[in-house]
Amino acid sequence: MAVGTFPGERASLGHKLTSSISSVTSTFTQQPLSRPANLYRPLFGEVIPLCELYSIANVVVFPSSSQSSALQNPSQPYSQHNGIESTGFRSTPPSPFIEALQTIGLGSPSWSASAISVFTIVLPTTNGYVTRSDFLQLRLQDFPYKILRTHEPLRPLQKYSATCPAPGPVTSEHDLATLVESAAGVVQWEDLPTSISFVDLEIYRTGLTEELRDRLHNAPWLSSTPISRQRVALIRGRPNITAGGPVYRVAKALGLALVIVDEEGHWLQADTEENKMHREAFLVTDMTEDAGVVDRIIQSIVSYPLPIHGVFTLSDNFFVAVAQVAEALGLPTSPVAAFETSVDKYRSRLLQNVPGQTARVHNVRELESLLASGGNQQAEFIPRFPLIVKPTKGWSSECVSKVNNLADLATAVQKATSRHGSAAVIEPFFDGPEMDVNFVLLDGEILFSEIADEPPCDADSSAATVHSTFSPEALTLPSALPAQEQNIAKSTLRDILVNLGFCTGVFHVEARMVSSTFEYRKQDGVIDLVLKHAKSLPESGAECKLIEINARPPGYRVTVPTRHTYGVDYFAAHMLAAAGDKNRLRLTTRPYSHVLGDNTNDSKRGAQYWSRLVYIPAPAAGTVQWPSKLAPCEELKRRRPDLADKIVLGVDYCVPGDKVDLYTDGARTYVAHLLVVNRESRRDVIRLGEEVQKAFTIDIDGSISSKTEISDGETDVDPDAEGCE
């Protein structure tokens, strides 16, 4: 990264620079002679009050030199004045500051004489109790300046006593060492070249400080009140470490003891040292979905010798059962009736129903009877095309069909009723931009909410047939819809949730904006949401139409990108809600404070960049191979280094030998997902996403296939299966 052109650089730096450079130059030139005799590497430290919650100390360590002449002209590079050999400092007495760094694993055992090292010491300003031990890792992810190492010594729930150093330069190495020893965290940044001028060095330090402020100023690391140690039970552990890892790691960071309740033979059952890192215990339970499953889960939990303070699940087909378990044990939960409505697509559709537009049938024969009766059996149902037909019990886009004529209606019903043995719901097709709207609620209050845009999929096309799929094609964050329409969506869907009984927890809601002023159209080579032409603007106001409610975080594929984009961890919020920890639930839902571009609209506030989640569907059916011995995501980054630094996340679902089909239960089968980001513009991130999709290759049965058309998506109910058989 070129110093002075770092991503997210603010225009405000210019007017701050003159005084800042003058100040630091004065400090550099006046302080060297007062440093302790044992200082063998010139350095500069400064304590900065970052915000009400934190102070930081930025420390710059220069190469070994006995001269201070480099500090006389801040516009010249440091290397012009550095004539000391790289080994010249080795015989000098040890430095207390550098010893303190090396004690915690930072710095280098053999310091380079050709680079400048930079450290930031993070110091909370008040005493408190640690809300999560990986706080810095979360808040600093994808930082625009490269991080070499991060030291976070605090344990979850530990009491921290604040150190409050006075603002200003710190010239004593002993004082700096004391700050390191008392810090909540220390960050070592990538070394800077000695060719950097002091002007650019000050630009770097100022930008670093501004970026830290955007990430930390509204996010408390500490709770003012003690946090009791709690234990939560996950009903149905994740099938693999890829999808389960983010859940297990955050439970550990939160100080939550995690107990897994699942079938005999689950991979987390064995009491190995590795499994003990992920969970406290495994309770073998018959999870057959019958009338007795609730009692069996309750028996497993009450027989455990230690108290369990909350239960939760990430599997849609266990929502009702887990709510019944929580209710029976007196643990935090939403009403069972709310879950029963949310998992039934017919009942949830009726929450916004217009009479005569929705029907439910169990088979084709019942459909024929309904049509023959003129709809009198179900509020005079009269089919108005296009329609949507989907299973009443289901998830993602499995067996969902768009029907444009009466002849295809029976085909769609047959497909829907064959999945999960459930009835089919027939409902209107709502034409408008599709959205994922995610909420974290506390007693009905929105603590955090975001909207992500889903571009049109195969079934949205005017030429779509009953065989076209609704498999999502991609996901772009944050939304491009106008603020007014985003507010309509959030208000409408929040009211539906609360009226249903969902007042606290994490909720993933899918919806469409009908009569939106925006539409997907190709402009400047990019298909994205843009303002409709004047003659196409709707006469009526925009209206948000619910598609489905998922009373859980979005699938693994979306939850992790949200953590990267906004700094909000849905898995953490989900577990804290289950445990009834309202204080930490509130503290853990603070997004970043970035404002993208020059847009100061609140709907764009909080995302550190535009991000595009790229789904990769299986391009062919067959057996997966890795001829290069590299996983496809890694192979792509090696082959295309121009894209590698734009990909912050790449997850392959398949390993050599896995068999894949083009479709699984009527939806596309996926082999990978990648998250690409851009700090400049939404259009740029969409272009990047399309380039990544085209460049991705996977070898299936010896034929290397590349994705050349956009048709990919996300499976929410059990994202751990990841598409491979």
With a cut of 50, which residues of the chain have pLDDT below it?
A: 1-40, 66-74, 78-91, 708-725
Tokens of 719: 């994202």
Q: What is the CATH number of the domain that holds 277?
A: 3.40.50.20
Which pLDDT value is given to residue 263? 96
Query: Are 207 and 281 members of one domain?
Result: no
Helix (H, G, I), strand (E, B) or coil at 146: coil
Q: Is residue 1 a part of any domain in this protein?
A: no
Query: Are 603 and 643 members of one domain?
Result: no
Q: What's the CA gap between 451 and 40, in Å, rounded?
A: 53
Contact in structure between 312 and 506 (CB atoms under 8 Å): no
Q: What is the CATH number of the domain that holds 421?
A: 3.30.1490.20
Q: What is the CATH number of the domain that holds 552?
A: 3.30.470.20
Query: Of the residues 223, 257, 276, which one is the last residue of a structural domain?
Result: 223
Q: What's the CA gap between 559 and 118, in Å, rounded?
A: 33
Query: Of the residues 184, 204, 223, which one is the last residue of a structural domain?
Result: 223
Structural domain boundaries, residue 98: 13-223
Computed over its alpha carbons, how large is the radius of gyration of the chain?
28
**Using one digit for the tens of pLDDT, what is the confidence trace for 204-226?**
999 999 999 999 999 999 999 99
Which pLDDT value is given to residue 604? 60
Which pLDDT value is given to residue 249? 96
Query: Of the residues 556, 573, 608, which one is the last residue of a structural domain?
Result: 608
Q: What's the CA gap between 140 and 150, in Å, rounded?
A: 10
Total tally of structural domains belonging to the chain: 5
Query: Are 439 and 423 members of one domain?
Result: no
Dump strand ranges (E) for 571-646.
610-617, 622-625
Contact in structure between 396 and 433 (CB atoms under 8 Å): no
**Using one digit for the tens of pLDDT, what is the confidence trace for 680-701?**
999 999 999 999 999 999 999 8
Following CA atoms 690, 143, 575, 452 in sequence, which dihedral angle do they give, to the nearest 10 degrees? -30
Contact in structure between 399 and 416 (CB atoms under 8 Å): yes
Query: Are 133 and 268 members of one domain?
Result: no
Q: What's the CA gap between 145 and 400, in Å, rounded?
A: 44
Query: Are 540 and 638 members of one domain?
Result: no
DSSP label at residue 77: B
Which pLDDT value is given to residue 703? 73
DSSP string, 208-269: HHHHHHHHHTT--SEESS-----EEEEES--SSHHHHHHHHHHHHHHT-EEEEEE-TT-TT-
Q: Name every residue whose Cβ is closer than 8 Å to that of residue 325 and which is 6 or more positions away in sequence.
A: 235, 294, 297, 298, 301, 311, 331
Q: Is residue 5 a part of any domain in this protein?
A: no
Q: Is residue 2 a part of any domain in this protein?
A: no
Contact in structure between 14 and 207 (CB atoms under 8 Å): no
Helix (H, G, I), strand (E, B) or coil at 219: coil
Helix (H, G, I), strand (E, B) or coil at 625: strand
Contact in structure between 520 and 542 (CB atoms under 8 Å): no
* Helix, strand, coil share of the chain (percent; to 5): 35, 25, 40
Cα 128 to Cα 139, 158, 220, 391, distances in angstroms:
18, 8, 10, 50
Cα 413 to Cα 390, 393, 464, 546, distances in angstroms:
8, 13, 17, 21
Q: What's the CA gap between 432 and 456, in Å, rounded?
A: 9
Query: Are 436 and 421 members of one domain?
Result: no
Pairing of strands 667-668, 281-284: unpaired
Q: What's the CA gap between 239 and 248, in Å, rounded?
A: 12
Q: Which of 378, 340, 379, 383 is nearest to 362 (CA)?
A: 378
Q: Which of 67, 219, 185, 204 is nearest to 144 (CA)?
A: 204
The whole-angstrom distance between residue 571's C-alpha and the CA centroid of its chain comes to 9
Q: What's the CA gap between 203 and 223, in Å, rounded?
A: 34
Query: Are 370 and 356 members of one domain?
Result: yes
Residue in the structure block whose two tokens are 């501004």 = 210
Cα 200 to Cα 4, 23, 67, 77, 208, distances in angstroms:
6, 14, 21, 9, 12
Q: What's the CA gap between 328 and 184, in Å, rounded?
A: 41
Query: Are 441 and 533 members of one domain?
Result: yes
**φ/ψ (deg, to 5) at 206:** -65, -45
Which pLDDT value is given to residue 663? 86
Q: What's the CA gap between 452 and 562, in Å, rounded?
A: 10
**Using one digit for the tens of pLDDT, what is the confidence trace for 442-498?**
999 999 999 999 999 888 888 888 888 888 889 999 999 999 999 999 999 999 999
Q: Is residue 340 a part of any domain in this protein?
A: no
Interior angle at CA 613, CA 612 and CA 616, nearest 5:
130
Q: What's the CA gap between 300 and 306, in Å, rounded?
A: 12
Q: Which of 605, 591, 609, 596 is nearest to 686 (CA)?
A: 609
Cα 568 to Cα 231, 448, 544, 609, 616, distances in angstroms:
22, 8, 25, 14, 25
Contact in structure between 57 and 121 (CB atoms under 8 Å): yes
Q: Name every residue whose Cβ is closer than 8 Å to that of residue 583 and which is 6 or more positions away in sequence.
A: 223, 225, 227
Q: Which of 504, 528, 576 is nearest to 254 (CA)?
A: 576
Omega of the bond leading into 42 within 30 degrees of 0 (cis): no
Contact in structure between 113 and 63 (CB atoms under 8 Å): yes
Which pLDDT value is given to residue 293? 98
Q: Which of 260, 138, 197, 83 is nearest to 564 (CA)?
A: 138
**Using one digit for the tens of pLDDT, what is the confidence trace for 281-330?**
999 999 999 999 999 999 999 999 999 999 999 999 999 999 999 999 99
Neighbours of 22 (CB within 10 A): 12
Q: Is residue 291 a part of any domain in this protein?
A: yes
Burial of 33 (0-12, 13-18, 19+ CB in 10 A): exposed
Contact in structure between 565 and 611 (CB atoms under 8 Å): yes
Query: Are 387 and 436 members of one domain?
Result: no
Query: Are 65 and 199 members of one domain?
Result: yes
Q: Name every residue whose Cβ is closer than 8 Å to that of residue 532 and which is 6 or more positions away in sequence.
A: 516, 517, 518, 519, 538
Q: What's the CA gap between 417 and 673, in Å, rounded?
A: 30
Q: Which of 127, 112, 44 is nearest to 79 (CA)?
A: 112
Q: Which of 610, 612, 608 is nearest to 674 (CA)?
A: 612
Contact in structure between 703 and 462 (CB atoms under 8 Å): no
Q: Is residue 338 a part of any domain in this protein?
A: no
Q: Is residue 339 a part of any domain in this protein?
A: no
Query: Are 78 and 194 members of one domain?
Result: yes
Q: Is residue 318 a part of any domain in this protein?
A: yes
> Greatest CA separation found in the chain?
98
Q: What's the CA gap between 571 and 138, in Å, rounded?
A: 13
Element (H, E) at 557: helix 556-566
Helix (H, G, I), strand (E, B) or coil at 389: strand
Burial of 355 (0-12, 13-18, 19+ CB in 10 A): exposed
Q: What's the CA gap between 247 and 259, in Å, rounded?
A: 12
Q: What is the CATH number of the domain that holds 710?
A: 3.90.1170
Q: Which of 69, 63, 56 is nearest to 28 (CA)?
A: 69
Query: Are 573 and 615 members of one domain?
Result: no
Q: What's the CA gap between 520 and 531, in Å, rounded?
A: 9
CA atoms within 13 Å, Cβ hemisphere of 201: 30
